[in-house]
Chain A
Amino acid sequence: MNDPMTPSPFRVERVRKELSDTFTLDLVPADGKRDFPFLPGQFNMLYAFGVGEVPISISGDPSKPDTIVHTTRVVGAVTRAMRNLGVGHTIGVRGPYGTAWPVEEMQGADVVIVTGGIGLAPLRPAIYSILENRSAFGNVSILYGARTPEDILYRKELEKWRGMFDMQVDVTVDYATGRWAGKVGVVTKLIQRGGFHPQDSIALICGPEIMMKFAVQALQDRGVTDDRIYVSMERNMKCGIGFCGHCQLGGDFVCRDGPVFRFDTLADKFAISEL
């Protein structure tokens, strides 16, 4: 029996600096070519030699499973060690784990993606999947917020998507100086003003919990029902497979029952502090 706690070695193929504290790694299996199929919204446990392991969402294109792409922000010792990796270095990978964005179920509906900061990374595979099969979906809007213009992730891609005729991309920042020609204000305002039809829409939200809380409220105020809102949750994880107990949220293991939850299954727990 293979121990599911043992990381597989992967080779770093490419490193990209995204923002001052955020970088992207492209990984391929160290033991030769083999596909790594995953669903949008799933994550991997990434292991830095001797330092530790952290859960990181997959942010690449699900239709290109020969390379795994991870965008990561430096917040601790493990991610700091990962930032110091270069092409040819080995990194440990376990996964993919967890639930996915409901890309199949969204077909025929309008899609509203609400995110901000690095929260766009776990949603990018869903955006790729939608674009891959664009005609299967109704209106698609991406409502993206960041603290400052310097914190906008995947800016070139957001600009490219905005340039498409069949995609609405709205970006706002909380703080800016006169050099910024875009919107200044909170991401919830984009929901309040957004040109989507609430009854026809399915909303996907990813960001810090406090941002998701207000985004859900704004969507509810617009008339989007809880069973059409999906959120991606974050908790401490040591295993990713339901053994370590750290990620529990009530009866749910965020690693196995999440990270993507339909909001109506989570609403009660969301309301209780320190659960």
Chain B
Amino acid sequence: MTANKSEALGTFVIAPSELGSLISALREDGYEVIGPKLADGAIVHEPLESADDLPVGYDDEQEGGTYRVAKNGANTYFDYVVGPHSWKRYLFPPDQQLCQMRRQGKTFRLIETKQEIPRYAFFGVRSCDLHAMQVQDKVFDNGEFADPGYMERRKAAFVVVVNCLRPAATCFCASMDTGPRATGGYDLALTELASKGRHEFLVEVGSSRGEEIFAKVSGRPATEADQSAPETASAKAANAMKREMVPDVQALLKRNLEHRRWDDVAKRCLTCANCTLVCPTCFCTTVEDYTDLTGSTAERRRRWDSCFTMDFSYVHGGSVRRETYARYRQWMTHKLSSWFDQFDVSGCVGCGRCITWCPVGIDITEEARAIRDSEGSR
């Protein structure tokens, strides 16, 4: 884990073939490199063995309820943006053992288990997702309690950012102030420079750890013109962004907890929980307890949960949020409003996944705008 804002420890230019050297350097240093791969028609985050695993020449088309990956005929590595996976599945696994216990007559005791902390190198982290990690950092260390597994995985993780050069139609990071360019909190940041026959990568070094790894990669120092490339490219990407979140949404939602729009969205929402599963910041979990068949060993497992399920708010006698409107409202107001009360930051980073992966295409930016517009007409 590196500081949020880091002074660049140097800026370099490398050839595309050097991506392979970078992945090798990370692997040689003991990192398990996780990066974008094409699988089942989507760009997902999977272990990478070499640069050959990277999807070259792919674009993605995203809209509410729509996701298509297509070959675009180019030789570029990072034209697509975010897919259904976020990095949380590595830092905050969907299913995790908490502890095991063994019964001895009337008593039981803990079974000491040593869990290996994986050293991940996240390759191709977009700025929105980097912000999402920083959001989850606050969740899993709330000042009083910390999740040691998360903290150790996060601390060990090496982050290679890729700055976005184009947005998907569902992206709205610019209005959330979380992208498209990463400004810190990474070890290395890549910007793909591919225009007019040129194909190179600008590399910004963000940490001493990044510096050590990058020493094993061949490149040349960036010129002044090279150095302005990420800013120019990201400004272009920001301008191309079609969606935006309305301003002051935190206060807007707080004063509209009772609003007819909640009933409207409830007619469309299937409470399928897709949005919470693809969201890079959603952190809710349940704990499940089991014994083996003989009843002598018990296990506790923590699993991702979703505020869209009926059981989520169950208090003996019934669930607090029985209606769909209440569950959608819980999710959306948590992301955009009450998250500030809890963690002093927005729970939404504008990645647009919840829009893309909603089977009925509910758009969080549109829902917020509808509530805002109703105020204007009041």
- Bound together: yes
B305 within 8 A of A: yes
- Whether the pair B291, A244 counts as a contact (CB closer than 8 A) is no
- Whether the pair B289, A246 counts as a contact (CB closer than 8 A) is no
A248 within 8 A of B: yes
- Whether the pair A275, B257 counts as a contact (CB closer than 8 A) is yes
A220 within 8 A of B: no
Interface string of B92-107 (1 = CB under 8 A from A): 0000001101010011
B307 within 8 A of A: yes
Q: Which of B78-86, B205-213, B321-329, B358-366 makes up part of the contact surface?
A: B321-329
- Whether the pair A9, B298 counts as a contact (CB closer than 8 A) is no
Q: Which residues of A contact B333 (CB under 8 A)?
A: 250
Q: How far is the CB of A265 from chain B (nearest CB, A)?
A: 11
B283 within 8 A of A: yes
State the CA gap A205–B367 with chains docked (Å): 38
Q: Which residues of B contact A11 (CB under 8 A)?
A: 107
- Whether the pair A1, B148 counts as a contact (CB closer than 8 A) is yes
Segment 225-274 of A: residues with Cβ below 8 Å from B: 234-236, 238-239, 241-246, 248, 250-253, 256, 272-274
**With A50-B290, A76-B316, A275-B326 in contact, do A244 and B285 touch (Cβ < 8 Å)?**
yes
Nearest chain B residue, comparing its CB with the CB of A88:
B106
Segment 54-92 of A: residues with Cβ below 8 Å from B: 75-76, 86, 88-90, 92
Q: Which residues of A contact B283 (CB under 8 A)?
A: 243, 245
- Whether the pair B285, A272 counts as a contact (CB closer than 8 A) is no
Q: Which residues of A contact B148 (CB under 8 A)?
A: 1-3
B170 within 8 A of A: no
Inter-chain CB contacts under 8 Å: number: 136
- Whether the pair A256, B330 counts as a contact (CB closer than 8 A) is no
Q: How far is the CB of B22 from chain A (nearest CB, A)?
A: 31
State the CA gap A9–B99 with chains docked (Å): 13
B147 within 8 A of A: yes
Q: Which of B13-21, B62-70, B137-145, B177-185 makes up part of the contact surface?
A: B137-145
B38 within 8 A of A: no
B312 within 8 A of A: yes
Nearest chain A residue, comparing its CB with the CB of B110:
A6
- Whether the pair B341, A251 counts as a contact (CB closer than 8 A) is yes
Which of A5, A235, A252, A273 is within 8 Å of B99, CB to CB?
A5
Which one of A30, A238, A256 has the highest number of Cβ atoms from chain B below 10 Å of its Cβ?
A: A238
**With A246-B312, A253-B342 in contact, do A272 and B257 touch (Cβ < 8 Å)?**
yes
B4 within 8 A of A: no
Q: Which residues of A contact B147 (CB under 8 A)?
A: 3-5, 243
A52 within 8 A of B: yes
Q: Which residues of A contact B315 (CB under 8 A)?
A: 234-236
Which of B151, B286, B289 is within 8 Å of A244, CB to CB?
B286
B218 within 8 A of A: no
Which of A51, A242, A246 is within 8 Å of B305, CB to CB?
A246
State the CA gap A90–B110 with chains docked (Å): 11
A170 within 8 A of B: no
A49 within 8 A of B: yes
Segment 1-55 of A: residues with Cβ below 8 Å from B: 1-7, 9, 11, 30, 47, 49-53
Closest 5 A-B residue pairs measured CB to CB?
A: A251-B341, A245-B284, A50-B291, A1-B148, A274-B326
- Residues of A near any B CB (own CB < 8 A): 1-7, 9, 11, 30, 47, 49-53, 75-76, 86, 88-90, 92, 234-236, 238-239, 241-246, 248, 250-253, 256, 272-275
Q: Can you report 24 A-B residue pairs in the complex whose CB atoms are below 8 A from each other?
A: A1-B146, A1-B152, A2-B148, A3-B148, A3-B149, A4-B146, A5-B98, A5-B287, A6-B110, A7-B99, A49-B108, A49-B291, A50-B101, A53-B287, A92-B101, A236-B313, A236-B320, A238-B305, A241-B142, A242-B145, A244-B286, A245-B307, A251-B338, A274-B321
- Residues of B near any A CB (own CB < 8 A): 98-99, 101, 103, 106-110, 139-140, 142, 144-149, 151-152, 257-258, 283-287, 289-291, 295, 298, 300, 302, 305, 307, 312-317, 320-323, 325-326, 330, 333-334, 337-338, 340-342
Q: Knowing that A1-B146, A250-B257, A251-B341 are A-B contacts, what are 7 other residue pairs whose CB atoms are under 8 Å apart, sorted by A's residue number? A: A90-B109, A238-B305, A241-B144, A241-B145, A250-B333, A252-B341, A274-B326
